[in-house]
Amino acid sequence: MRKGWMAIGGAAAALLTSTAAAQDRAEASAEVTLVVTETRLVEGTMELVATGYTFTEGPAWDGARLIFSDIPGDTVYIYTPGEGAPKLLYAPSANANGHTFDLAGRLLNAEHGSGALTRWTPESGRHVVVERFEGKHLNSPNDVVVRRDGMIFFTDPPYGLGKRTAEIAYSGVFALDEASGKMVLIDDAHARPNGLAFSPDEAVLYVGDTATQTLWAYDIAADGSASGKRLVIDLKAEGLTGNVDGVRVDSAGLVYLTCPGGICVVDPARGTLLERMAVPKRATNLAWGGADLSDLYITAQSDVYRVTTRARGVGSSSR
Asked if the structure places residue 199 within a domain, the reply is yes
Span 27-78, pLDDT tens digits: 333 333 334 457 999 999 999 999 999 999 999 999 999 999 999 999 999 9
Helix residue spans in 166-310 (DSSP H): none
Residue 9 lies in a domain: no
Count of domains in the chain? 1
Residues of the chain short of pLDDT 50, as ranges, are 1-36
Q: Is residue 15 part of a domain?
A: no
Structural domain that includes position 96: 39-314
CATH code for position 61: 2.120.10.30
> What type of residue is 259?
C
pTM for the structure as a whole: 0.88
In a domain, 33, yes or no: no
- For residue 67, what are the β-bridge partners? 60, 78
Residue 32: predicted pLDDT: 34
How far apart are the C-alpha atoms of 125 and 118, rounded to whole Å? Answer: 10
- Does residue 22 form part of some domain? no
Residue 30 forms part of a structural domain = no
pLDDT at 277: 97
Please provide the size of the chain in residues: 319
Q: What per-residue confidence (pLDDT) applies to 2?
A: 39
Quote the pLDDT of residue 162: 87
> Could you tell me if 40 and 265 are in contact, meaning their C-beta atoms sit under 8 angstroms apart?
yes
Does 289 reside within a domain? yes
pLDDT of residue 37: 54
- pLDDT computed for residue 137 by the predictor: 97
CA-based nearest residue to 264, from 304, 208, 199, 182:
208
Residue 243's SS3 state is coil
